[in-house]
Amino acid sequence: MNAIIATGGHDPASEAAFTEVARPIPHPGEHDILVRIAAVGVNPVDAKVFGRLAPGEERILGFDACGVVAAAGARTRRFETGQRIYYAGDLTRPGSNADYQLVDERLAAPAPANLDPAQAAALPLTALTAWEGLFDRLGFTPAAGANAGKRLLVIGGAGGVGSMAVQLGTWAGLSVAATAGRPESAAWCRELGATTVVGRGDVAEELARAGLPEVDAVFCTTHLEEHWAAMARVLAPQGGVCLIDDPTGPLDITLFKQKSARICWEFMFTRSLYRTADMARQGLILDSVARLVEAGSLRTTLSSVLPGLSARTVREAHLRQQGRAMVGKQVIAV
């Protein structure tokens, strides 16, 4: 099979950073399915993992995929050969920038029937992150309209995760506010359901001017340090903050003490990384997301498609991701 190898120690613009090689098609283990890849989503984690590779270290990246089941392990039960599935994979295994990939069947689900492979591949990682952040970490109820009267702020509402958090929060009955740095980003957030959109200045002041002096929860997807103090000011007493963005230095957590705030992390790969007892929950979440997409309650956040999986398209996708001006998700269609 053809695979795109990322090699550490290079600038992503360098031709040495991503190369095409021939690799054997892997054989599925007991719980694995072998997937013939049709489309690959691109995420900030691709750039993060690439940036952490040691000089000369090689890795097949790619953490979102839609494809067709080509073979299955002896103890698999959920899927049949030829079935179209989608999933976000596992940090500890080779990624989806290849013709074929192995994935534990517990992490996958049937792809939404009304989406093409590129549209479906834009969803898994960001949908899982947003769902787990809102419902598993912040404790909102994952049902239509169940959280009416509650207010959510999504920082970075136009990014991949933010786009799904805005939609899922709206579906679940939350009044959703979002930050957006550009007019097109603000329009995107409103299109997805945000009722209040503010810029990336002093978020607390901008929300107050917009008639929203406090929120019950904050989902921070980006620029954590820039908004840390503002989050503490805008959060309602006994509210919650969910974080996915890595800080570059220490933060003063005491800013949240007087409000008895709950601060939690969401890392979508925790369940697969530690093989937790509830690892199969990710497949079930993706089942729920697919049903919501098919019902028209959620939409894909695909914003651009690069044709053909190659060293060139992977390089171009990484350079776009580095620009930090993404609206929605980009996908490489195989």
pLDDT at 321: 84
Residues of the chain under the 50 pLDDT cut: none
d(CA 22, CA 194): 46
Write the single-letter amino acid at 68: V
pLDDT at 322: 78
pLDDT at 145: 98
Listed in order, the ranges of the chain carrying CATH 3.40.50.720 are 127-265
**End-to-end C-alpha distance for the chain, whole angstroms:** 13
The CATH superfamily of 127-265 is NAD(P)-binding Rossmann-like Domain (3.40.50.720)
Q: What is the pLDDT of residues 3-56, one digit of tens each?
A: 999 999 999 999 999 999 999 999 999 999 999 999 999 998 999 999 999 999
pLDDT at 229: 96
CA distances (Å), 286 to each of 43, 263, 290, in order?
A: 17, 25, 6
pLDDT at 141: 98
Tokens representing 42 are: 């691109």
Q: Who contacts 164 (Cβ-Cβ below 8 Å, separation ≥6)?
A: 123, 126, 127, 129, 130, 131, 298, 301
Are 40 and 332 in contact, with CB atoms under 8 Å apart? Answer: yes
Name the residue among 99, 103, 71 with its Cα closest to residue 88: 103
Listed in order, the ranges of the chain carrying CATH 3.90.180.10 are 2-123+300-333
d(CA 215, CA 223): 19
For residue 12, the tally of other CB atoms under 10 A from its CB is 19
If you average pLDDT over every residue of the chain, what do you get? 96
pLDDT at 324: 58
Q: What is the dihedral of CA 237, 141, 271, 322, to 10 degrees?
A: -70
pLDDT at 327: 80
pLDDT at 117: 98
What angle in degrees, to the nearest 10, is found between the helix axes of 281-294 and 124-131?
110
CATH code for the domain defined by 2-123+300-333: 3.90.180.10
pLDDT at 325: 63
For residue 265, the tally of other CB atoms under 10 A from its CB is 12
- Ramachandran angles phi, psi of 115, nearest 5°: -115, 150
